[in-house]
Chain A
Amino acid sequence: MQLGFLVDLHLCMGCKGCEIACKVENEVPLSTWRLRVKYVDVGTYPETKRTFTPLRCNHCENAPCERICPVSALHYIENGIVNIDRERCIGCAGCVMACPYGAIYIDPETQTADKCTYCAHRIASSMMPACVVACPVEANIFGDLDDPASNISQYIQDHRDVQVRKPEKGTNPHHFYVGAGQVNLNPLASERIEGYNLFNKITKLPLGGHHE
């Protein structure tokens, strides 16, 4: 079994329901996110549009975070999920530095690394991840990539524009996007203008170790 995710960006309307469901389900502390929706505005007024891209851990087949973790706190489980053992993590932040997708954070409450686990605890109880359940338009498609009859496999077969983030990194992500362009997937494809963010003053909880 190889679990994977696919987001159809044609359907996503940026409601952030998935983000909130994830926060609640996993008790993700303030100032950290396992899943977040990025907004990118494209074009010049009046010809503008807003794009929405949910971003989460890609559960890579060749995960740099798993490789660099010195104590195997990040590890694969049999269904292909890259899971994390908080009790073992020493908080070296090697995984934070190794993830090309910026998907790992240090939990300010436990002082350990954390990230999306595809709701591994729910899957163990035969439930769908919280973000899948919360999505009002079924833009999140989750299932077994090894099963050609699964929803996700069918979706991949039926759509030609299936992409992953940063394929050049050789990580083989198990998280796919349909209907994505460079602005969705490439962080360097859009400008980040100081003061033009919808949220400009984010309160960040203090972390241990040292940060600048």
Chain B
Amino acid sequence: MIHETLAATNAVVTLDIPLPDVFWGWYVTMNMWAKSIGTGLIFMLFLLLRKNPDEMKGLRTSTLIVSFIFMNIFLLFTLADLHQPFRMWHIFFYPHWTSAITVGAWMATIFVGLEFLMIVLGFQKKTEPFDKLLFWVTLLAIPVTLYTAGIMAEATARELWQMSTESVQMILAATLSGSAAIILLAGSKLSEKTQKFFGVILGLSALLAFIIYMSEYIFGAMKSEEVAAILQYVKGDGEYATMFWIGQWVAYILPMGLVALSRTSNSSSILKLAAILAIVGLWVVKHVWLVIPQLLPMS
């Protein structure tokens, strides 16, 4: 901190009426969480197609429907968070292309449309066009997953969110929740080997995401004064410290351990428990990281 905060000079704000602080609350957390599951399931279905297409039987339509539902939850919360939801159409008629919100809204709409088309193909048992379209939908799922990191990066007031780390975290959130969701969704339809494969994706996603959060936690304060001040909310007796660690344990640490245990004990039940914890914990982790930069006074 700088010299005015020293006891000798003692600067205290005695009158300031900052505008309301947390503007992006749990609606936006729901938005990010649901989108991670929605696109993550597409990534996993594509991996399954490449790894073992025989096991796709019975999973194509059901996986797409679950992904479609979560993408619509994402869109619903996005809409609900607007103060003028009935003007949502302005994004399509007055688009401003420097905004990641605009680009994301367009991509997500196309993505959901393609998903709907794939569901129709799935019901018509048209496997070949379904699988061809899955490739393009998987490609589109990458920017759809990433664009929220772009929005956070454009929120330049919140220095904690950097495009480079947030984009990796968005992809890891998708692979974590996607692998967890397909483990729960497909269950016994998958061979033991494939279940273990998705377990490895779950464990590695948790490990990498945990490493990034810990890197920010330990070294983030060295980046800037603002980041140092923000991280105080998750350190010591900070307002969000307990929630932060609950999130880290439930989303990452426990699932990592349970995935390892499921491999040694050949237990699909333990793997499913890891999957449930990862999905629940991801919400908590995302929420804490979303809220803490908004607690900092801007003026």
Contacts and interface: CB of A to CB of B under 8 A. Distances in A.
- Chains A and B come from one and the same complex: yes
Interface of A: 32-33, 36-44, 50, 55, 64, 67-72, 88-94, 96-106, 111-112, 169, 171, 181-183, 186-193, 196-199, 202, 204, 207-212
Contact of B4 (A89, A104, A189): A189
A4 to B, nearest CB: 19
Contacts of A104: 19
Contacts of B90: 70-71, 88, 90
B84 interface: yes
Nearest to B84: A91
A91 B299 contact: no
A43 B155 CA distance: 34
B216 interface: no
Contact of B82 (A91, A105, A187): A91
B225 interface: yes
Interface string B36-64: 00000000000000000000000000000
Given A186-B2, A212-B291, A94 B155 contact: yes
Contact of B298 (A100, A111, A202): A100
Interface residues of B, number: 60
B298 A101 contact: yes
B83 A93 contact: yes
Question: Is chain A's binding surface mostly helix, strand, loop or mixed?
Answer: loop
Nearest to B152: A97
A190 B99 contact: no
B129 interface: no
Nearest to B294: A97
A39 B14 contact: yes
B11 interface: yes
Contacts, number: 210
B82 A97 contact: no
Given A92-B101, A188-B229, 13 more contacts: A33-B19, A41-B11, A67-B99, A89-B87, A91-B84, A97-B157, A98-B154, A100-B157, A102-B297, A187-B299, A192-B13, A198-B14, A212-B21
B27 interface: yes
B73 to A, nearest CB: 15
A204 B154 CA distance: 27
B222 interface: no
B5 A88 contact: no
B18 to A, nearest CB: 6
Contact of A211 (B9, B12, B25): B25
Contact of A72 (B13, B88, B94, B105): B94
Interface in B252-299: 291, 294, 296-299
Contact of A210 (B80, B154, B229): B80
Contacts of A98: 154-157
Contacts of B20: 105-106, 204, 207, 211
